[in-house]
């Protein structure tokens, strides 16, 4: 699985630590990981609004399979990601959240709180969240197991409802956003490397190239 970590301006100073924990866990899970957001406070400026755009591009183009995002509380990032088609983002503040989201909701993104409650032992909490998110076997199996069937049905129905509500073509939704927002979202070198090297949708790739040109 390909996993992208993206962090915005308010918590960029914590990126090195969070990125290190994700890399540590990926050595066990065998996943390929990418650090595509802000790496420090001097990096190009991103807000949680930009994170939603970035996540939607990476997931809808199948450049990555999963996105780890966040902000101070995690709430803004979760709302920003969930606006977009093809993105199902859960809110995660401790390891059981990651496990239960994977098993019950089977989404493709998490939003973490990188300021609220982020104190002593925070790096351990982040590592354990990543372990529960990426090293606990097959996703979407349900919890408890006797509830698996209705949980899987409801997760599928929720996807159908979101697809029905968001009726526009994916690229049309992007083009209806302020294009300066989208251009800023795709301006990072590490984002571009991850996107262009792994993108599986030529039409989306052409759109991003047109913004950068």
Question: For every one of its 213 residues, what pLDDT tens digit does the chain have, with 9 covering 90 and above?
Answer: 999 999 999 999 999 999 999 999 999 999 999 999 999 999 999 999 999 999 999 999 999 999 999 999 999 999 999 999 999 999 999 999 999 999 999 999 999 999 999 999 999 999 999 999 999 989 999 999 899 899 999 999 988 888 888 777 899 999 999 999 999 999 999 999 999 999 999 999 999 999 999
d(CA 84, CA 89): 10
> Whole-prediction pTM value?
0.95
The tokens of 87 are what? 């993105």
Q: Domain containing 138 — which CATH number?
A: 3.40.1400.10
Domain holding 116, by residue range, is 2-212
- The tally of domains found in the chain comes to 1
């Amino acid at each position: 699985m390909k996993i992208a970590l993206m962090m915005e301006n308010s918590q960029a100073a914590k990126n090195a630590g969070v990125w290190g924990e994700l890399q540590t866990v990926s050595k066990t899970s065998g996943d390929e990981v990418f650090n595509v957001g802000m790496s420090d406070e001097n990096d190009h400026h991103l807000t949680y609004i930009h994170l939603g755009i970035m996540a939607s591009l990476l997931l809808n183009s199948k450049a990555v399979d999963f996105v780890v995002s966040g902000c101070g509380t995690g709430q803004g990032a979760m709302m920003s990601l969930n606006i977009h088609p093809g993105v199902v983002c859960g809110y995660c503040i401790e390891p059981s959240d990651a496990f239960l989201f994977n098993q019950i909701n089977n989404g493709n993104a998490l939003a973490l709180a990188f300021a609220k409650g982020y104190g002593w032992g925070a790096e351990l909490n982040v590592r354990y969240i990543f372990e529960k998110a990426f090293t606990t076997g097959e996703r979407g199996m349900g919890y408890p197991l006797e509830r698996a069937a209705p949980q899987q049905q409801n997760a599928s129905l929720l996807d159908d409802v979101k697809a029905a509500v968001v009726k526009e073509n994916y690229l049309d939704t992007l083009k209806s956003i302020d294009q300066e927002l989208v251009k800023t979202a795709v301006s990072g070198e590490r984002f571009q490397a991850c996107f262009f090297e792994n993108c599986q949708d030529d039409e989306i790739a052409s759109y991003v190239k047109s913004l950068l040109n």
